[in-house]
Amino acid sequence: MSVVLVDAGGTNIGSVRYALQRLGVEAALTADAETIRAADKVILPGVGAAGPGMARLRELRLVELIRSLTQPVLGVCLGMQLLCEHSAEGDTECLGVIPASVRRFEEAPGLCVPHMGWNRLSPIAAHPLLKNLQEGDWAYFVHSYAVPTGDYTLASSQYGDVFSAVIARGNFHGMQFHPERSAGVGARLLKNFLEL
């Protein structure tokens, strides 16, 4: 099985790669369109802001390619948000494969932004990506913007409002948390993705 990490400049690439190695998978880091198109699984990692993230994908001429992929694709953290139609962060047009708009968390007493740390997951739809995920399992988040829940939501979490923690539409999937930092739960969900 060939797995590629899209080299879109995310600072979590090394840790995602190491998490895959722990699962016995060597993932190539690449921005080459043909390598990405030929892979069995594609992972779009990302840490940072939506505007620079999309600018990097445009600069690499990967926007239309990613939209056209038919194999399983996984967006992680910012990579998940980039799968959506639009982000309020920098008023950014994104990839548009998930029909959602990314919003900033509302600051409130006791709720600092960014949302940073461990939070519980609530599965709300049956999907192979969630195999063996239990209600209340913990995952590690670091983000200021979130995807609201919708018919694409597989699992949610709550920080003030309820938001999408895991999403899917067709062959496109996303995890808002960092599976590579989420211990056994993260490893299990990455393994589930590799088995799709």
**What are the chain's domains?**
3-194 (3.40.50.880)
34 is catalytic: no
Catalytic-role residue among 115, 143, 173, 178: 178
The pTM is what? 0.96
Query: What DSSP string describes the chain?
Result: --EEEE-S--TTHHHHHHHHHHTT--PEEE--HHHHHH-SEEEE---S-HHHHHHHHHHTT-HHHHHH--S-EEEETHHHHHTEEEETTTTEE---SEEEEEEEPPPBTTB-SSEEEEEE-EE-S--GGGTT--TT-EEEEEESEEPPP-TTEEEEEEESEEEEEEEEETTEEEESS-GGGSHHHHHHHHHHHHT-
Q: What is the pLDDT of residue 174?
A: 98
Query: Closest Cα partner for 144 from 163, 127, 170?
Result: 163
**Which of 77, 89, 94, 173 is flagged as catalytic?**
77
Q: Once rounded to an integer, what is the mean pLDDT over residues 46-54?
A: 89
What burial class does residue 75 get, using C-beta atoms within 10 Å of its C-beta: 0-12 exposed, 13-18 middle, 19+ buried? buried
Respond yes or no: is residue 178 known to be catalytic.
yes
Looking at 85, 89, 180, 195, which residue is catalytic?
Answer: 180
pLDDT in tens, 149-168: 999 999 999 999 999 999 99
Backbone angles phi, psi at 117, to 5 degrees: 130, -165
CA separation for the pair 167, 146 (Å, rounded)? 12
Question: Is 143 labeled as catalytic in the residue annotation?
Answer: no
Please name the residues in contact with 34: beta carbons below 8 A apart, sequence gap of 6 or more: none
**pLDDT tens per residue, range 90-149:** 999 999 999 999 999 998 898 999 999 999 999 999 999 999 999 999 999 999 999 999
Residue 86: Cβ within 10 Å count: 16
Beta-strand relationship, 84-87 and 92-93: antiparallel
pLDDT, position 11 = 65
